[in-house]
Amino acid sequence: MSDDEVTLTIDGKSVTVPKGTKVVDAARRVNVDIPIFCYHEKIGPLGCCRMCLVEVEKIPKLMTACTLDATADMVVKTTTDKVEKAQRGVLELTLLNHPLDCPVCDKGGECPLQDNTFKHGPPDTRMEFHRHNDTKAAPLSPVITIDRERCIACQRCTAYSERIEQDSALVMLNRGFHNAVGTFNGEPYDTRFSGNVIDICPVGALTNTDFRFKARTWDLTNTATLCAHCGCNCNITMATRLNELMRIEARPNDAVDDGWICDKARWGHHFVHSKNKISAPRENNSLRENNAAGAKTVSLPTFPDNCTTENAARKIAEAFKKIVAEHGAQSIGFIGSPYGTNEENYLYQKLFRHGFGSNNIDHKPYHDTPGLPVNHYGFEQIETSNVVLLIASDPTEELPILDLRIKKAVTTRATRLVILNDQKIALDRYSSQSAQYKVGYDAAAIDAVTANLARELGESVPVDDANATGISAQDIKSLVETVRTSMKICVVYNPSALSKAAVAGVKRLLKMIAKIPTIECGAMPAAPMTNAVGAMDMGLLPDFYPGGVAMSEQEEIKKQWGENAPTAIGLSALEMIARAKTGQLKALLVHRANPVLDFPGGSQVADALRKLDLFVAHDMLETETTKLAHLVLPSNGPGYDEGTTTNIGGRVQARKKALATTRAPDWKIISLMLNALGDETDYRKVSDVTEEIARRVPGYQGISKKSVSKTGCDRDRVVSADEPVSDTPIQATKKDGGLRLRVATLLFAHDKILDASSKLAHHFQPSTAHLNEEDAQRLGVRDGDAIVLSAASVNVEAVAKVDNRCQSGGVVVPRVSDEQGANGLIDADGGAAWVKVSKV
Amino acid sequence: MTQILFKNINTADLHTMKVYEAQGGYRSLKKAFAMQPEEIVAAVKTSGLRGRGGAGFPTGLKWSFLAKDVFPRYLCCNADESEPGTCKDRELLLKNPHLLIEGMILCAYACRIETGYIYLRGEFHDLSVIMEQAIADAYAKGYLGENIFGGGFNFDLHTHLGAGAYICGEESALLNSLEGERGEPRMKPPFPAVEGLYAQPTIVNNVETLCVVPYIVNEGAEKYASIGTKKSAGTKLVSVSGHVKKPANYEVVLGTPVREIIYDLAGGIRDDNKLKAFIPGGSSVPMLPADQVDVLYDYESLAAAGTMLGSGAMIVIDDSVNIVETTLRLISFYMRESCGKCTPCREGTRWLYQIVEQIMQNAGQLEHIEKMEDICDTMATNTFCPLADACVSPVVSSIKYFRADYEKYFTNVSTSLA
């Protein structure tokens, strides 16, 4: 036992716990169940419900076990007559005015009030007056309904709002018997994390409007799976009934979500039953005719009526093989998905490398490389780091659960948050320093930090004048000082919001920090997509094999993947699009991606894809891209699929199947394509693929069906290849008055995923362009003006918001919807995007 | 009788700086500033002064509990005076505001505090005007502000008006209210001396308590300790209300018999009725029947009698009253003032009210008394703060001493159950 621990006795059982542990939690460790309503281990003590009264030796009155710190040699008794009488009494008072409408209550069957009454309560009530009547169903927000009669005013939800969300949107109103959960001025309680109050409500007061009265909880089939929206991969429980998804709840995992999920995770699931779901293989006849007219060289395979997905897959594999035979492996390409599972991604890269001999494999329109030169930190490391450096990342919109974890670290662990970004973000108010570089100056700003740090370390490097980046030399200095004097630092960067040079710069910065012997340094590549880390680990890259094995490591590649394994660096996603445009790329397979909308270039991407001889889309929903595909394969997607994903913290977890389908799973389709090409591996179940990943992908040796079940398992560090240093000329403001564009991520964007989840429509926002005062004045634009942003032939309408979200010379446009088409403003080569702003 | 706080309370214009100084006001400061702060804390300890707000906690001890070497610290004067029956602080604030300021300066110096707040209940708006004027005058004279008397000691004083909630007289709820939060009590520990206002070490003292400090500094701790009884040093302001001929605030030496307070100072029972009961320390302490009128008015004697000295509000009830009515009135107060934070208080006060109301409508039954006692047993000491105990006090004590008054309402039931 260390000095930080105490040993106490609870109901005769000895237990040793860390100092500061509450008696109620200590009791749980020795299986002593002290009843609670208001206490929640993640929210902390409140002392409101008085349910957890226990007897403590040497203290005359009963104590609440949830507010009492365990101390050495304390003797606690939880089942004495005195305790049981008090608990019975408190429970009688708790139930006094609670309506006994359990038969129609959503909480019925999983209700702590029912359970505690069963265990500790009186069998009847002595209440002889009419129970208090109050509002039965009032909308607290479009997705939460409050039943005021059922509320026992435990204040768990308001404490959650104050301590976890930290915006006190939900508060107690009024006083005494009339106190009530509510919001200022009756405004909707529509925060990003509001739904968690439904999970933590110990009665049926806060109910899920979407689920209300839909099913009895004991009729639900619960599946422990993962959220498939952002890169956090929060643990969730999908509840289904008669093969219909009924609701999603948080499934606490300290290593990832700390017990919370965002509202997108909870309510953004209606796409699984969307009418836009692709359910069968399909050929696009009109495109076929165009193809014939264009006299293209490939004859497209045909899918007869009722063609099974398996047959379609084989035909597609053969068609690609034919093109490779005619035009070489360089003429085909694959754009995979940062949303796919590791198994799907692994098999697809295997198909293209092993089956077709091509390295034209990618999954993203931005640049990043697998692995890190430092430790890969997970969510829990955020709490133990004393400095978190956030680069180009906006967790509030991109990775909401990371936002909660950072807030927790800053407010309860004395972690200091330092921000380097080109836009103001919500977390700025938690930061000890927020340095803002001009849009487009990301690489220069990061390099300035690295150079200053190098000089602090005694290396003689030329330090450029950082002023051009928009950050003063003093600010850079103080940022560097915070980094240099940290003991444990976690660098969180969003590669998808950084230029290629800047991503390389981040890795150089990490190496520089790692040189300081007193600092423990780790990083988190925080792209907002579900499985961006896994996609890189699985080698969905033109220049790396799975596990971060670079093309230059030819021996290693040949050993693992055979003598014929291609080792020439392939084309990136954007290069593939460019080659398609010139006709050099003949065939392309796109899995779970929508380049027409998500890639820079917009209509240019569509034009390029139209030129392909063979274009196959493998997706779960109809998109702008699937419309252009000659052949479409159905992808099952979240809810139906299974496999593993790797989150931004490097944790590999299991996504499980909650809904049954007759469609073949994606991994099966890909494995059939592999088989059609002569690969004899017989993958019978998805874990066969997982096992192969564990065998063949560096970093994944410890991954197995067993090790990832329940709470997942951290993969080993994937070692980073050296980044070439590239000169990055700083680009000045364009002479014609154009502004540098930054497309920002919005959590609740009206995209195809959320389109079917109309419950979240209240979060959708109009197209907005955030301008700096200086530019606005020069352009004669005022707050609220309707403006048009234009680049090349693309126009995007927006409402101007003059709020200095970025420095002058830039404009921030949050991606609010698919319809808005903000990415179309960016050049097809993915480089700097300049837009002209004009008033309508 | 020894008068300390009320010695010159009726001097004309005592609330003005000129008169207050002429009466010897603020002279303790010079003496205090020549002492080490710790010496003043020690003196207050020696004096035996106990908190006059209700709990009677030794003041010097409270001051010595401040977290060591943590600054800034705050001083909050609890001028919420919300205990029914209590109006002693009101008289001090109204007539002698500078005495409080002087006491607060001494406390601040002794505890190395540079900022003080006077938390006045919302209904004290008129007093806040007087207090503000007194503070302005004290600034003008250099008693408040920076570098007082050139000794390098700074002290700023502010007033703050609450919104009129009983619970805000509880020190941690007061701090919440002062911070702009909901007026609900805080979890203890940490106690205010460790983490109080803005999570900094804080002293919260009642008006009367702070007003005693100048006397201790001027006249010496021993002199104060020699007044009253061994465990209850000094004098106490008693607000006598109810069925007496001369309801008013009286300053009595602790240890004076209650009989003397009711019959000599307050002139006896109105209309020469008979005394039925008295509540010695404000509405939240148990009542005592007339036969205990010879109990001594000090902390230990009242505790031995099963009640408390509390805030020093003596509510006198004559025999024209059915105690059940009194009890319903008191429960109704606590029901309305319950903050609602914890279940037994929120639900229990209302249930008790409903039951007593039912009894008074002649719809009660004998077992209701048993039920009420059981509810009180669940509420007492099991709640977050003592408000529920305050509600339980009149219920339990009225059943204990005046069961017959309840039985009068049980028309259908034999009253022989005893």
Nearest Cα neighbor of A800 from A835, A838, A832, A774 is: A838
Mean of the pLDDT values across residues A650-672? 95
Q: Could you report the per-residue pLDDT of A316-327, keeping only the tens digit for each?
A: 999 999 999 999
Rounded to 10°, the helix B207-219/B97-111 angle is 70
pLDDT value, residue B417 = 47
Q: What is the CATH number of domain B235-318?
A: 3.10.20.600
Q: Is the pLDDT of residue B167 over 50?
A: yes
pLDDT value, residue A829 = 78
- A375-525 falls under which CATH superfamily? Dimethylsulfoxide Reductase, domain 2 (3.40.228.10)
pLDDT value, residue A718 = 87
User: Distance, in angstroms, between A124 CA and closest chain B CA?
Assistant: 14
Residues belonging to chain A with any Cβ–Cβ distance to chain B shorter than 8 Å:
45-51, 53, 61-62, 67, 85-86, 89-90, 92-94, 96-97, 126-127, 129, 152-155, 171-172, 174-179
Mean of the pLDDT values across residues A97-104? 94
Residue B381 forms contact with A (CB below 8 Å): yes
Mean of the pLDDT values across residues B286-297? 97
Q: Could you report the per-residue pLDDT of B3-17, keeping only the tens digit for each?
A: 999 999 999 999 999
User: Distance, in angstroms, between B341 CA and closest chain A CA?
Assistant: 6
Residue B353 forms contact with A (CB below 8 Å): no
> Out of A51, A126, A174, whose CB is closest to B371?
A126
What residues does CATH 2.40.40.20 cover in chain A?
739-839
Nearest Cα neighbor of B41 from B63, B58, B70 is: B63
> What are the distances in angstroms from CA A182 to CA A161, A474, B110, B173, B395?
11, 45, 44, 21, 34
Q: Please report which helix (H) or strand (E) contains residue A226, including its range.
A: strand A221-226
User: Distance, in angstroms, between B401 CA and closest chain A CA?
Assistant: 25
Q: How far is the C-alpha of A96 from the C-alpha of A80, rounded, in Å?
A: 24
Mean of the pLDDT values across residues B12-40? 96
pLDDT value, residue A302 = 80
> Out of B336, B344, B354, whose CB is closest to A50?
B344
Q: How far is the C-alpha of B106 from the C-alpha of A821, rounded, in Å?
A: 69
Report chain A's mean pLDDT, rounded to a whole number: 93
Rounded to 10°, the helix A81-95/B367-379 angle is 100
Residue B181 forms contact with A (CB below 8 Å): no
Q: Is the pLDDT of residue A293 over 70?
A: no
Mean of the pLDDT values across residues A429-446? 95
> Out of A92, A126, A175, whose CB is closest to B339?
A175
Q: How far is the C-alpha of A142 from the C-alpha of A188, rounded, in Å?
A: 8
> Where does the pLDDT of residue B1 fall: very low under 50, low under 70, confident under 90, or very high at 90 and above?
confident
Q: Is the pLDDT of residue A603 over 80?
A: yes
Which CATH architecture does the domain made up of B323-407 adopt?
Answer: Up-down Bundle (1.20)
Q: Is A460 exposed, middle or buried (0-12, 13-18, 19+ CB in 10 A)?
A: exposed
Contact A343, A352 (CB under 8 A): no
Q: Could you report the per-residue pLDDT of A239-286, keeping only the tens digit for each?
A: 999 999 999 999 999 999 999 999 999 999 999 999 999 999 988 877
Mean of the pLDDT values across residues B313-320? 97
A129-273: CATH topology is Alpha-Beta Plaits (3.30.70)
Mean of the pLDDT values across residues A534-557? 95
B17-226: CATH topology is Rossmann fold (3.40.50)
Q: How far is the C-alpha of B172 from the C-alpha of A680, rounded, in Å?
A: 74
Specify the range with the lowest mean pLDDT, choosing from A454-463, A575-584, A622-631: A454-463
Q: Is the pLDDT of residue A394 over 50?
A: yes
Radius of gyration from C-alpha coordinates of chain B: 22
Q: In what order do the strands lie in the sheet with A244-250?
A: A221-226, A235-241, A244-250
Q: Do A94 and B382 touch (CB under 8 A)?
A: no
What residues does CATH 3.40.50.740 cover in chain A?
284-364+532-714
Q: What is the CATH number of domain A284-364+532-714?
A: 3.40.50.740
Q: Which residues of A touch B348 (CB under 8 A)?
A: 93
> Out of B335, B342, B350, whose CB is closest to A47?
B342
CATH 3.10.20.740 fits A5-95, yes or no: yes
Q: Which residues of B touch A97 (CB under 8 A)?
A: 347
- Which residue shows structure tokens 């911070």? B179
Class of domain A739-839: mainly beta
pLDDT value, residue A310 = 83
Q: Is the pLDDT of residue B414 over 70?
A: no
Contact A587, A329 (CB under 8 A): no
User: Distance, in angstroms, between B17 CA and closest chain A CA?
Assistant: 41
pLDDT value, residue A1 = 65
Whether the bond into B280 is cis, omega within 30 of 0: no
Instruction: State which amino acid sits at residue B242.
Output: G
pLDDT value, residue B256 = 97
pLDDT value, residue A461 = 76
Contact A390, A243 (CB under 8 A): no
What residues does CATH 1.20.1440.230 cover in chain B?
323-407
% of chain A with per-residue pLDDT over 70: 96
Mean of the pLDDT values across residues A639-659? 97
Mutation pick from A43, A49, A92, A168 vs chain B, by most beta carbons of B within 10 Å, is A92
Mean of the pLDDT values across residues A683-689? 96
pLDDT value, residue B164 = 86
pLDDT value, residue A473 = 92
Tokens of B316: 């006198």
Contact A141, A763 (CB under 8 A): no
This prediction's pTM: 0.94
Q: Is the pLDDT of residue A289 over 70?
A: no
> Where does the pLDDT of residue A828 fall: very low under 50, low under 70, confident under 90, or very high at 90 and above?
confident
Nearest Cα neighbor of A578 from A544, A609, A603 is: A609
Nearest Cα neighbor of A596 from A795, A745, A818, A769 is: A818
DSSP letter at A664 equals: P
Residue B342 forms contact with A (CB below 8 Å): yes
Q: How far is the C-alpha of A626 from the C-alpha of B71, rounded, in Å?
A: 66
Nearest Cα neighbor of B395 from B311, B310, B344, B323 is: B323
What residues does CATH 3.10.20.740 cover in chain A?
5-95
> Out of B182, B338, B348, whose CB is closest to A93?
B348
> Where does the pLDDT of residue B24 fall: very low under 50, low under 70, confident under 90, or very high at 90 and above?
very high
What residues does CATH 3.10.20.600 cover in chain B?
235-318
> What are the distances in angstroms from CA A823 to CA A94, A582, A761, A795, A812?
55, 22, 22, 11, 12
